[in-house]
Structure 1
Amino acid sequence: DKKGIPRRVRAQQWVRRATQRYFSAPLTKLPDGVVLPKEPELVFDVKNKELVWFGTMKPAQRDIFLKLSKDAVFRKAVGRLFGESQPTEMRAHWVFAGSGFIVDMQTKKKKYLAENGNLICVANFPSATLDIAQASSDKGANLLYEAFIDRIPPVNTEVLIELIPKSRPVGKTSPPPPAKPRGLPR
């Protein structure tokens, strides 16, 4: 920290659910008489029958939308969009993904994929040595996580990363392991 006192934190505290993305909630139709405001922009997608929101919804914005109707289904959809758009610490845990090998087409030598630098990931890269036990990506709607910038130490802060093997998730709040391991080429 700023006083030079070493601190130990779980890496999950430095990662949060992605917030700069679209969120959707099922909604068959808008309640009668409801006209969505242009600002802030909440969109009803008629084709997909869903309410759509981009980014983090503020409590005041949620309250504006909730005042539009007493309809329970509409209010539930707004509540879901609000809840899912809030920045929350990552709960997934890391697992040994093992990376994989490829054969270099020019040299015909076997190459370990993790040598590209993707040691610890949150986006299920085939080259990752450690990755999260949850389907994720670094693309669009499948982007689940991003840096929790407010919690990450400033640039040039010394950080010691400890990789401590565990045979099972730590603590009661850890999510269960995935149903089946990720299929990677070995």
Structure 2
Amino acid sequence: MEVLVMALEALHEEAKPLGLEVSWLKTKVQVFGGFLDETVQYGLKIVMVCDAESHYMLNAIPYWGREPYNSKRTSHWGKHLVLKLTSNCGWSGRTVTADNWFSSLPLALELKKAGMEYVGTIRSKPYIQRSSLHMKIEIGESVAVFNHEHNVNLQCTRPNKTKRVHILSTMHHIPTVVEKKRTNIQVF
């Protein structure tokens, strides 16, 4: 795995990435034997950081279905994986995009300290204020909530009657993130 990552990094030096994407790749390899837990027996998952333009894999970690026994982490597992994947590269000025399994407000702030920006969907609890969760939003409309303390923007969109999508961003600091539909702005 390390040789593959080194070879892809060598290929990637010419590509100049604009952003990073953290995503899952589920292999179709069947794993047999009792030494692995049941979640691995249907294939291995590999957490990767990929260039957004060229789709080259820059770094990868196999995910075994749970954290290692010797792990002494105190943070969210998704945050731990993203920080580990982006730690050994000098990617200052790049943008990390990820889904809500990896996302958290502490992760976005940690990446901001390292000189990277973050955009991604985020789960509603525990990072979003209750007032933002319960406000009425018409279908197809959005509400942008800006947090001055952490300098982050949260956009809440309602695509249908039963669903809300929350997007956390450390790079959008003006209320023009949403286009074509009306956006209400709240500042806290």
Structure exhibiting the larger radius of gyration computed from Cα positions: 1
The reply to whether TM is greater than 0.5 is no
Q: Which has the higher contact order (CA 8 A, sep 6+)?
A: 1
TM-score normalized with structure 2 length:
0.19
- Larger proportion of strand: 2
